[in-house]
A = this chain, B = another copy of it.
Amino acid sequence: MSERRDEKEEGRFAYEGLDRVMHEKARLGIMTSLATHQEGLLFNELKELCSLTDGNLSRHIQVLQEAGLIEVWKRFQDRRPQTLCRLSPEGRKRFISYLEEMERVLKDAYSAQANEAKKKSARFLKNPDIQGWTPA
Report A's interface with B, CB cutoff 8 A. Answer: 7-16, 18, 20, 23, 25, 28-33, 35-40, 45, 48-52, 71-75, 84, 86, 95, 99, 102-103, 105-106, 108-113, 115-116, 119-124, 128-129, 131-136
Contacts and interface: CB of A to CB of B under 8 A. Distances in A.
* In the complex, the 4 A-B pairs of residues with the closest C-beta atoms, listed nearest first: A73-B133, A39-B123, A14-B51, A36-B112
A51 B13 CA distance: 8
Copies of the polypeptide in the assembly: 2
A65 B48 CA distance: 34
B28 A15 contact: yes
A121 B37 CA distance: 10
A74 B25 contact: no
A72 B135 contact: yes
Contact of A50 (B13, B128, B129): B13
B35 A109 contact: yes
A46 to B, nearest CB: 9
Nearest to A36: B112
B115 A36 contact: yes
Contact of A73 (B37, B48, B86, B135): B135
A132 B75 contact: yes
Contact of A13 (B32, B115, B121): B32
Contact of A39 (B40, B84, B113, B119): B119
